[in-house]
Amino acid sequence: MIFEDRFTVRAPIERVWAFLRDAERVAPCVPGVERIEVIDDRRYRVVALASVSFLSLSFAMDVTVTEVDEPRRLVSVAQGIDARLRERVKLTSELGLEAAGPGETIVDYRIELGVVGKLASLGLSVIKGKARQMATAFAGSVRDRLETAG
């Protein structure tokens, strides 16, 4: 499944870029993230909770930043498994930044989501609805943190 959207942040592109490259600052913006361990500038371990329909999952995920084009593009791959139900998930996230004028940045995102197990059997519409809800919450949280910090 692929999800794409964009949002505007009232902050200069350099500040948005610095924020998005700081895993510890971004993690609280991602719905469900319980814990993050920064291994290095490009690798993280994350524990994230998700409730989709009747399933409650806790994913232990390895995240690797695979592409960095400062301050324009950032690509990462996250793979994880829920220890209890053995559900698997893989996310490829692409973020694109574009200056929209003085003090404004457009953030484009594209997320490719792959799921295996009972989660996959829930149906596309249920998973899409939850993913869209999480993406909207992420965008709102990033915008709030950057705009109130400025």
Q: pLDDT category, 123, cuts 50, 70, 90?
A: low
CB 78 within 8 A of CB 65: no
pTM: 0.89
Q: How far apart, in Å, are the Cα atoms of 84 and each of 36, 81, 101?
A: 20, 9, 48
Q: Is the pLDDT of residue 29 over 60?
A: yes
* Host H or E run for residue 131: helix 124-149
63 exposure class (CB count in 10 Å sphere: 0-12, 13-18, 19+): buried
What pLDDT, on the 0 to 100 scale, is given for residue 120?
67
Instruction: For the chain, report the end-to-end CA distance as a whole number of angstroms.
Output: 35
